[in-house]
A and B are shown apart, each in its own frame.
Chain A
Amino acid sequence: MPESSTQPAIQLKGISKIFNAGTDKEVRALEAIDLDIQPGQFISLIGPSGCGKSTLLRVIGDLIESTAGETKVFGKPAHQARLDRDYGMAFQKAGLFGWRTVAANIELPLELMGWDKTARKAKSAEMLDLVKLSDFGKHRPWQLSGGMQQRVAIARALSFSPQLLLMDEPFGALDEMTREHMQLELLRIHRETGTTVVFVTHSIPEAAFLSDRVVVLSPRPGRVHSVIEVDYGPGDRSDETRQMPEFFKKTTEVREALRAVEVAAGETL
Chain B
Amino acid sequence: MTSLASRLGSVWPPLVTGALILGVWEALVAGLGIQEFVLPKPSSIVQAVGTEWEGLRTAGIETGTIAVTGLILGVVGGLILALVVTRFGWLSDSLTPMAVAVNATPIIALAPIFNAWFGLTDDRSNQAVVVAVVFFPVFINTAKGLSSVDPDQIELMRSLAASERTILTRVRIPSAVPFFVTSLRLAAPLSVIAAIVAEYFGGPTNRLGPFITQNASFARYDNAWAAIVIASAIGLALFAVALLIERLAAPWRDGPTEG
Contact = CB atoms under 8 A, between A and B. Distances in A.
A87 interface: yes
Mostly helix, strand, loop or mixed at chain B's interface? helix
Interface residues of A, number: 25
B247 interface: no
Given A99-B177, A112-B162, 6 more contacts: A93-B150, A93-B259, A98-B257, A108-B160, A140-B252, A140-B255
Interface of B: 150, 152-153, 155-156, 158-162, 166, 170-171, 174, 177, 250, 252, 255-259
A89 B259 contact: no
Interface of A: 58, 61, 63, 82-85, 87-89, 91, 93, 95-99, 108-109, 112, 140-143, 166
B153 A97 contact: yes
A166 B258 CA distance: 23
Contacts of A91: 152, 155-156
Contacts of A112: 160-162, 166, 170
B155 to A, nearest CB: 6
Contacts of A93: 150, 152, 258-259
Contacts of A95: 150, 152-153, 156
14 contacts: A82-B161, A88-B159, A93-B258, A97-B171, A98-B257, A99-B177, A99-B250, A108-B160, A108-B170, A109-B160, A140-B255, A142-B252, A142-B257, A143-B255
Contacts of A61: 159
A114 to B, nearest CB: 12
Given A83-B161, A95-B150, A89 B155 contact: yes
Please indicate which of the listed interface residues A96, A112, A141 has the most CB atoms of chain B within 10 Å of its own CB: A112
Contacts of B170: 108, 112
Contacts of A88: 159
A68 to B, nearest CB: 22
Contact of A98 (B155, B159, B252): B252
A223 B252 CA distance: 44
Nearest to A149: B258
The 3 closest A-B pairs by CB, nearest first: A142-B255, A95-B152, A89-B159
B214 to A, nearest CB: 50
A88 B257 CA distance: 25
